């Protein structure tokens, strides 16, 4: 039923959905993998900052606090060795108690915040050194209470100051170690940031490459698909033109056969019946029967001519499109009861017979739609001959275009196909007052499209 090239064109290339789905999966997989990687890196950074940088900073603050307390002890011992001071050595007891309490608290908090790089030996050495320092300080105050201030000052000068200096050195060493730890942590953080930054660039490049490849594949697939669709559309138009041309030729043939053959036969029958009736005497029953048969033949002849006109108006071939429309409008009014306001304008010119047939069919289908679907009994038909085109308008103020089941009617599709064959432009509009307006505009060179 269809040409072989049309059947071949129906075989569309493989759908690009599978390739696009694969590209989507690859892209989503890359995004998920990179998100997990970034999450792991951020968790590592958070742990590094919490376990090293943050704790090292808190540890350094407590070490500075310890160092400050040791400096206060050193200043107090210097004042105790100054013989010009008017106060006895026992006057510094309360000050040392406050310093000792603050130092013990600082040591406790420093032990909680100490980083893992601080060895147990270092912790034990610091605690033992401070304990020995306070034991020596207690012995010095025992000497003061026993009235041996000279020996107490000698104890300060020979033992306590040396112990204080050793403690300050140990604390300073721990501070240096913390600073080194913070520097190492900062270096590790910077390395992680650099690695993540490089990974971001690699990830972006990979994602952009995947998107580019997917887009190129989509563009190429769409190009092939649209090329196929354009080829199908062109072949569909050719097929539609052939079908419509075949339909018109068939209808023209049947119309001529009805008009010429059956019309002549029925006309001859009517003439023969009239002559036969003339040979029958008046009052004979046969004369009445012949009259009845003659009327039936004439009625059949009228119906045959009407059917022939509906299939293909002979006037299109014998006169012009303008005269055919002029004769068709009253027939529609008489047969359907539709009141049509018909208006012509412009200077008439001949229209190719094939193009005229298409315009006539569009007018015929538009008026049929008014009768069947509009729900109104009045329509307006305007036929304009313009300088470079022919324009036809059919308007009604009924229910308008209503698509049923989401599909446009076959008649409207056929009208559009005929307009495309003419190289014209067909519009389905809604007038300001409601209803439907079909507007067809065909250029003067339409004959070349309708051959």
CATH number of the domain residue 351 falls in: 3.30.565.10
Round to whole Å and give the CA distance between 244 and 5: 19
Residue written as tokens 């930054």?
Answer: 197
CA atoms of 130 and 155, how far apart (whole Å) = 16
Q: What is the pLDDT of residue 2?
A: 41
- Is 364 among the domain residues? yes
Q: Please tell me the distance from the alpha carbon of residue 91 to that of residue 144, in angstroms, as a whole number.
A: 11
Does the residue 242 lie in any domain? no
> Do 70 and 211 lie in a common domain?
yes
Tell me the C-alpha distance between 311 and 17, whole Å: 48
Which of residues 162, 182, 216 is at a domain's end? 216
Q: What contacts 24+ positions apart, CB below 8 Å, involve 201-209?
A: 203/30, 203/34, 206/30, 207/27, 207/30, 207/31
Residues 162 and 38 in one domain: yes
On whether residue 380 sits in a domain, the answer given is: yes
Q: ∠76-81-86 over CA atoms, to 5°?
A: 85
Whether 403 maps to a domain, the answer reads yes
Instruction: Please report whether residue 357 resides in a domain.
Output: yes
210 and 330 in one domain?
Answer: no
Same-domain pairing of 172 and 51: yes
Domain encompassing residue 437? 314-448
In this structure, are 63 and 178 located in the same domain? yes
**96, part of any domain:** yes
Q: Could you tell me if 52 and 180 lie in one domain? A: yes
What is the predicted pLDDT for the residue at 426?
Answer: 92
Same domain (yes/no): 35, 175: yes
Instruction: Tell whether 62 and 185 lie within a shared domain.
Output: yes
Three-state DSSP state, 267: helix
CB proximity list for 403: less than 8 A, separation 6 or greater: 409
What string of DSSP letters covers 158-181?
Answer: IIIHHHHHHHHHHHHHHHHHHHHH
- The reported pLDDT for the residue numbered 290 is 78
End-to-end CA distance of the chain: 22
Q: How many domains does the chain have?
A: 2
| Final residue before a domain boundary, out of 150, 184, 216 | 216
For residue 106, the domain's CATH number is 1.20.120.1730
Cα separation, 368 vs 365, in Å, equals: 5
Question: What is each CA distance from 409 to 4, 165, 377, 418, 435, in whole angstroms?
Answer: 29, 105, 21, 15, 16
pTM above 0.85, yes or no: no
Is 394 contained in some domain? yes
**Any domain includes 257:** no
What does pLDDT average to in each consecutive run of 10 residues of the chain (451 residues)? 42 60 76 79 70 72 87 87 76 88 86 66 82 88 86 87 88 83 77 79 81 82 85 79 78 76 78 79 78 82 75 76 87 89 87 81 89 89 89 90 57 82 87 89 62 44
Domain limit, last residue, from 216, 246, 264: 216
Looking only at the bridges linking them, the beta strands covering 389-396 and 436-443 are antiparallel
Listed residue (182, 178, 202) closest to 190, CA to CA = 182
Same domain, residue pair 324 and 204: no
């Amino acid at each position: 039923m269809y040409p072989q090239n049309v059947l071949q064109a129906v075989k569309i290339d493989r759908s690009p959905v599978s390739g696009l789905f694969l590209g989507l999966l690859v892209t989503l997989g890359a995004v998920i993998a990179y998100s997990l990687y970034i999450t792991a890196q951020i968790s590592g950074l958070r742990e590094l900052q919490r376990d090293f940088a943050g704790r090292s900073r808190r540890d350094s603050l407590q070490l500075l606090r310890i160092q400050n307390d040791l400096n206060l002890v050193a200043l107090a011992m210097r004042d105790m060795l100054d013989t010009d001071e008017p106060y006895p050595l026992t006057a510094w007891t309360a000050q040392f108690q406050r310093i000792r309490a603050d130092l013990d608290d600082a040591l406790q908090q420093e032990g909680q915040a100490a980083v893992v790089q601080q060895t147990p030996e270092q912790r034990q050495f610091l605690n033992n050194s401070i304990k020995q320092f306070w034991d020596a300080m207690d012995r010095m105050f025992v000497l003061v209470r026993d009235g041996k201030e000279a020996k107490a000052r000698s104890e300060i000068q020979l033992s306590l100051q040396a112990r204080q200096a050793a403690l300050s050195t140990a604390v300073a060493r721990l501070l240096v170690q913390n600073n080194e730890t913070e520097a190492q942590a900062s270096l590790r953080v910077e390395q992680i940031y650099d690695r993540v930054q490089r990974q971001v660039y690699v990830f972006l490049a990979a994602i952009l490459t995947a998107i580019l490849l997917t887009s190129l594949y989509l563009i190429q697939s769409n190009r092939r698909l649209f090329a196929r669709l354009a080829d199908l559309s062109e072949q569909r138009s050719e097929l539609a033109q052939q079908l419509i041309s075949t339909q018109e030729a068939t209808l023209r043939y049947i119309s001529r056969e009805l008009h010429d053959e059956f019309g002549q036969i029925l006309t001859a029958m009517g003439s023969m019946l009239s002559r036969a009736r003339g040979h029958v005497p008046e009052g004979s029953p046969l004369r009445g029967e012949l009259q009845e048969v003659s009327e039936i033949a004439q009625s059949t002849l009228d119906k045959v001519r009407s059917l022939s006109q509906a299939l293909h108006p002979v006037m299109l071939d014998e006169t012009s499109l303008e005269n055919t429309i002029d004769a068709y409008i009253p027939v529609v009014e008489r047969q359907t009861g539709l009141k049509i306001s018909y208006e012509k304008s412009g200077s008439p010119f001949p229209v190719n017979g094939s193009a005229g047939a298409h315009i006539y069919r569009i007018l015929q289908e538009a008026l049929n739609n008014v009768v069947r679907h509009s729900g109104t009994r009045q329509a307006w038909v305007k036929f304009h001959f313009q300088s470079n085109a022919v324009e036809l308008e059919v308007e009604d103020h009924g229910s308008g275009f209503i698509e049923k089941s989401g599909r446009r009617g076959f008649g409207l599709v056929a009208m559009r196909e005929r307009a495309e064959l003419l190289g014209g432009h067909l519009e389905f509009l809604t007038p300001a007052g409601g209803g439907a307006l079909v507007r067809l505009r065909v250029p003067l060179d339409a004959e070349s499209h309708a051959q």
